[in-house]
């Protein structure tokens, strides 16, 4: 039976978790544990301490080339991978139960939302949790107040304009903007 597998593994595998799942409580417990670490991290001004706590949150080493301007909000953390020379500006939110991968040299502006989680449209199933991994490839730049939705890949060297809502994959070397985001132009 699928429910015998770890709920976090099920999410990483893209499974929808129904609202009555017997292991659903583990999602909130994990979020509260992450919140304790976030309070510490978001109250620090020391870049090394911020990286150390973020390493605990993500359960992976955060390279010393990574810069994070707090506050940063993450609901779980262990499904987030951050490459080298990544810059994350103030007030970003990462919902990572579906998985978030940020490759090397990515720039993330203030108030960016990376949302690998959502809910079914049907009112009867709306309390269920649906996921889709977000992948931001090398050298991408995500503009201020942009939102990346579940299942989206942002291509290498791509730019997401400020305020965009990205619902579909963005090709390499492309600038997208708007709601929903559409191609503006190619980068030469």
| CATH at residue 90 | 2.160.10.10
Q: Which is catalytic among the residues 23, 79, 119, 135? A: 119
Q: What percent of the chain has pLDDT over 90?
A: 96
**Helix locations, the chain, DSSP H:** 7-12, 25-42, 47-58
pLDDT for position 3: 44
Q: How many domains does the chain have?
A: 1
Does 134 have pLDDT greater than 60? Answer: yes
Radius of gyration, alpha carbons of the chain: 16
Q: What is the pLDDT of residue 188?
A: 84
> How far, in Å, CA of 83 to CA of 121, rounded?
34
What pLDDT sits at residue 152? 98
Q: Which residue(s) pair with 73 in the sheet?
A: 93
What residues make up the domain containing 119?
Answer: 2-186
Of the pLDDT bands very low, low, confident and very high (cuts 50, 70, 90), residue 55 is very high
Whether the pLDDT of residue 5 is over 90: the answer is no
Low-confidence winner among 13-22, 46-55, 99-108, 133-142 (lowest mean pLDDT):
13-22
45: confidence class by pLDDT, cuts 50, 70, 90: very high
CA–CA separation, 4 vs 124, rounded Å? 24
119 is catalytic: yes
- Residue 117: which of 4, 15, 6, 3 has the closest Cα? 15
Q: Which pLDDT tens digit goes with each residue over 148-179? A: 999 999 999 999 999 999 999 999 999 999 99
**Mean pLDDT rounded to a whole number for the chain:** 96
Of the ranges 2-11, 25-34, 39-48, 152-161, which one carries the lowest mean pLDDT score?
2-11
Phi, psi angles (nearest 5°) of residue 101 = -120, 125
Write the burial class of residue 188 (CB in 10 Å: 0-12 exposed, 13-18 middle, 19+ buried).
exposed
Per-residue pLDDT tens for 75-94?
999 999 999 999 999 999 99
Cβ pair 61, 41 in contact under 8 A? no
> Average pLDDT for residues 12-22, to the nearest whole number?
93
How many C-beta atoms surround the C-beta of residue 185 within 10 A?
11
Partners of 74 in the β-ladder:
94
Token pair of 112 as six digits: 């960016």
Q: What is the mean pLDDT of residues 48-71?
A: 98
Report the alpha-carbon distance of residue 93 to residue 170 in Å, rounded: 20
Please state the pTM of the whole predicted model.
0.95
């Amino acid at each position: 039976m699928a429910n015998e597998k770890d709920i976090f593994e099920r999410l990483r595998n893209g499974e929808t978790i129904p609202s009555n799942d017997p292991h659903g409580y583990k999602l909130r417990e994990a979020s509260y544990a992450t919140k304790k670490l976030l309070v510490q991290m978001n109250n620090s001004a020391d870049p090394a301490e911020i990286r150390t706590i973020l390493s605990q949150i993500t359960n992976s080493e955060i390279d010393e080339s990574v810069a994070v301007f707090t506050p940063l909000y993450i609901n779980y953390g262990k499904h987030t991978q951050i490459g080298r020379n990544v810059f994350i500006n103030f007030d970003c939110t990462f919902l990572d139960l579906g998985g978030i991968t940020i490759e090397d040299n990515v720039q993330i502006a203030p108030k960016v939302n990376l949302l690998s989680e959502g809910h079914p449209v049907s009112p009867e199933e709306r309390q269920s949790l649906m996921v889709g991994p977000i992948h931001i490839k090398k050298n991408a730049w995500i503009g201020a107040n942009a939102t990346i939705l579940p299942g989206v890949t942002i291509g290498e060297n791509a730019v997401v304009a400020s305020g965009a809502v990205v619902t579909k994959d963005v090709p390499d070397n492309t600038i997208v903007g708007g709601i929903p985001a559409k191609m503006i132009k190619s980068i030469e």
